[in-house]
Structure 1
Amino acid sequence: MNCQKNKFLLNKKYAYLNCAYMAPQLKKVEKAGRKGLTKKRQPNLITPDDFFHDLNTIKMLFSELTNAGDKNRITLIPSASYGIANVVNNISLTKGDNVVVAGDQFPSNVYPWMNACQAQQAELKIVTAPESTENRGKIWNEKILNSIDSKTKAVALGHVHWADGTLFELIAIRKKCDEVGAALVIDGTQSVGALPFDIQEIKPDALIVAAYKWLLGPYSVGVAYYGERFDQGKPIEQNWINRLNSENFAELVNYRNEYQSGADRYGVGERSNFILNPMLIESFKQILQWQPANIQEYCKNLMAPAIEEIRSKGYYIEDESQRASHLFGIKIPTDKMDALAKALKNHKVSASIRGSFLRVSPHVYNDQRDVNKLLRAFRSIGRADS
């Protein structure tokens, strides 16, 4: 796969190694947004079918991307926290139950559980990463598996850790969840679109994905998959479009108790967005053309020489078998943090400091010039132990 920088409008003076923060916009996605913006100039041309056509296309494309099987298990959400809230609202917790999350996990998949556990006197088990860097990813996964017991009602985490890229062994975790009857709830915001995710293989009860990172979509839109566990659940929002037969505008005042089938009961109101939805469709089409496996391979090959050099200077990066290639962390000694931040700025490198790690998140728009800027920043601050 060749570099795809020409499909974006990035400033070539800067090395944008920060897709985990926010994806740059594809030219074709921007074009779709502009076209959608003009649509409302003449609202008389917007038909009832326009409220549903793009939604159906998005569900089909996301189903193809994740091998969901049934597109009707997919719906649109405005954010990861919204999608998680629907899950938490339909998980019954009682005193003594527990919910398992990974340490230093992104807040949107922690705060809702924290609130629910506090309200029901349940335990929130936060499984922290091991202190030692030796076999760190392997041991962390073992700790998560060992924390799941007969009182566990849900395991909520990402496919990769958002700060350092550690891969979580979701198939093994799914198996353990099945043994105790726990739900597996995945925030795929930092993986889906760049790392292969197979719903039929992993079998999550819910997969929640904000679109503005690895799905290369716009802000304030996301996609959610809800499995059979949530078929009869109660959504957090009561809107017109999540009720049965909402396609029939003439009958909307004939109020219905029944919800739409599948995941659409959990969809956000005003999800028929005539600007954001066409943009998301274009981003899905591009990702499906590239394929996540090829994105992983591109990032792996691009970053491999740089990772070797950075490691040779004493900086820790997780073993390749235990992390993703599109997102990985470089552990930075505390006394090097300020110098690194200045070096990144001086060499025009965009990457995120998260906790004790520099999070590097390349994509197919990056090239060797970008990598060289990152290396010059590290060369300027010296060895980790100097």
Structure 2
Amino acid sequence: MKLQEQRSQFEIPSEVSYLNIASLSPSFKTVEKAGLDAVKEKSQPFLIPSLAYFDPVKELKQLFANLIQAPDLNRIAPIPSVSYGMATVANNIKLKKGDEILLIEEQFPSNYYVWEKLAQKFEAQITIIPKPKQNKDFGKLWNEAILNAISDKTALIALGNIHWVHGTIFDLKAIRKKTKAHKALLIVDGSQSVGALPFSVLEIDPDALICAGYKWLFGPYGCAYAYFGSYFDEGQPIEENWSNRLDSENLSGLTNYQSKYKPLANRYAVGEHASFIYVKMQIAALKQLIAWSPKSIQEYCASITLDAVKELQEAGFYIAESEQRAQHLFGVELPERLNQTALKERLAEENIYVSFRGNSLRISCHLFNTKEDLKKLSTCLIAALD
């Protein structure tokens, strides 16, 4: 399916070029309506049935399972943040002294601090796989370095599907194959990819996949998703809440305390995960994303960025080649001679929103963007060269 521009589904002023969804997504109009409708429902709580604590959550988990091709919704847990999901993962991992945790250079903090703490707890070792210094075949060389680093002493590797600044695609299929050969865990942060880039649990088979919900999944801030593989089937949650226990749907019998959890990942769902407002917003968002499909979103983003990328590369900006990076998110390395102060002033004047990360500018786009948005940006960047 070839997608067309979808700006009419968003409340973004025509003069604004929003190229920063990797920080925070705008809401679809349908997501906004779902949230407002849910707020109104809370005004009359006596009309909210007890099944509202359960049935919408099942629908939400099934939608997310469909998006990532997970065969069982019971492997999905609604959580409030990536850090919560990573803490749950780390809480159920025991290491031996000298075991190795592999991370990549410049990993997002929520996928670093938790492993630093785990390594300290068990006297394990963290090994950082550096990004290549040379630009040519940047992504290929980084993937080779990751694969070469996995060995018998590797207990786990944690990384994103793509790099959160550069958009470098990591070959999770190859990485998973090697982790299995060395009996190591694969923990994936899908926050900057799932929803915009195809991801299949059936293909990758990660031990855990943790995703923020407020970026490419278009949910509200404060919602996230976790997929847990079989390694975590009998694990311990970091909190105990009533709705995660077996037979919790029977509200009149809640004080008949139940020692058993609901099956699989249900034990890891955060308390109050049935939030009537958040759940309805997330359901509306996932339905639309599935209708569009991540594959078609990638193709659309590639089509609107192609000309601007070529123009910037010819002007001396480094952008990784298309086949080694994502199309919805990528970095533009800024030359030393570029006047960043002048650039930021020009961007503000033109109502262009992007993220500066180190010496790179991160572009993240979606179906509300057009070629004209990218042209405006490239013009500003080239004008800032001294």
TM bin (shorter chain): over 0.9
In the TM superposition, 1:123-202 aligns within 5 A as: 123-202=125-204
In the TM superposition, 1:73-88 aligns within 5 A as: 73-88=75-90
**Maintained 8 Å contact 1:339/1:381:** yes
Aligned to 1:362: 365
For 2:352, which of 349, 352, 355 is the aligned residue? 349
For 2:101, which of 99, 102, 111 is the aligned residue? 99
Alignment: residue pair count: 383
CA distance in 1, matches of 2:122, 2:89: 16
For 2:36, which of 34, 37, 62 is the aligned residue? 34
| Mean CA deviation greater in 186-195 or 121-130 | 121-130
CA distance in 2, matches of 1:341, 1:175: 44
In the TM superposition, 1:50-69 aligns within 5 A as: 50-69=52-71
Does residue 372 of the first structure (1) align with residue 375 of the second (2)? yes
**Maintained 8 Å contact 1:316/1:331:** yes
**Maintained 8 Å contact 2:316/2:335:** no
DSSP 3-state at the match of 2:86 = helix
Structure 2 segments unaligned to the other structure (5+ residues): none
CA distance in 1, matches of 2:242, 2:153: 37
1:349, distance to aligned residue in structure 2 (A): 1.0
CA distance in 1, matches of 2:159, 2:343: 29
For 1:306, which of 304, 308, 332 is the aligned residue? 308
For 1:70, which of 69, 72, 81 is the aligned residue? 72
Q: C-alpha offsets along residues 110-143 of structure 1, whole Å, 9 cap, x if unaligned? A: 1111111012111111112011111111111111
Equivalent position amino acid for 1:161 in 2: H
Does residue 234 of the first structure (1) align with residue 254 of the second (2)? no
Q: C-alpha offsets along residues 318-341 of structure 1, whole Å, 9 cap, x if unaligned? A: 111110000000011345233332
Does residue 322 of the first structure (1) align with residue 344 of the second (2)? no
CA distance in 1, matches of 2:342, 2:183: 48
Does residue 218 of the first structure (1) align with residue 212 of the second (2)? no
Q: C-alpha offsets along residues 304-326 of structure 1, whole Å, 9 cap, x if unaligned? A: 00000000011110111110000
Equivalent position amino acid for 1:205 in 2: D
Equivalent position amino acid for 1:361 in 2: S
For 2:343, which of 334, 340, 348 is the aligned residue? 340
Q: C-alpha offsets along residues 64-85 of structure 1, whole Å, 9 cap, x if unaligned? A: 1111011110110000111111
Aligned to 1:21: 23
Equivalent position amino acid for 2:369 in 1: N
Aligned to 2:91: 89
DSSP 3-state at the match of 1:363 = coil
Aligned to 2:7: 5
Equivalent position amino acid for 2:255 in 1: V
CA distance in 1, matches of 2:79, 2:53: 15
| Mean CA deviation greater in 300-309 or 256-265 | 256-265
CA distance in 2, matches of 1:98, 1:340: 42
1:343, distance to aligned residue in structure 2 (A): 2.7
CA distance in 2, matches of 1:285, 1:29: 10
CA distance in 2, matches of 1:242, 1:335: 56
DSSP 3-state at the match of 1:185 = strand
Q: Report the TM-score, using the length of structure 2 for normalisation.
A: 0.97
Aligned to 1:247: 249
CA distance in 1, matches of 2:125, 2:77: 30
CA distance in 1, matches of 2:383, 2:336: 16
DSSP 3-state at the match of 2:276 = coil
**Maintained 8 Å contact 1:347/1:376:** no
CA distance in 2, matches of 1:134, 1:372: 25
| Mean CA deviation greater in 255-264 or 223-232 | 255-264
1:256, distance to aligned residue in structure 2 (A): 2.0
DSSP 3-state at the match of 1:366 = coil
Aligned to 1:271: 273
Identity of aligned residues (%): 45
Structure 1 segments unaligned to the other structure (5+ residues): none
CA distance in 1, matches of 2:213, 2:5: 22
**Maintained 8 Å contact 1:235/1:266:** yes
Aligned to 1:258: 260
CA distance in 2, matches of 1:157, 1:379: 33
Equivalent position amino acid for 1:365 in 2: F
1:91, distance to aligned residue in structure 2 (A): 1.1
**Maintained 8 Å contact 1:91/1:153:** no
Q: Report the TM-score, using the length of structure 1 for normalisation.
A: 0.97
DSSP 3-state at the match of 1:317 = coil
Equivalent position amino acid for 2:133 in 1: E
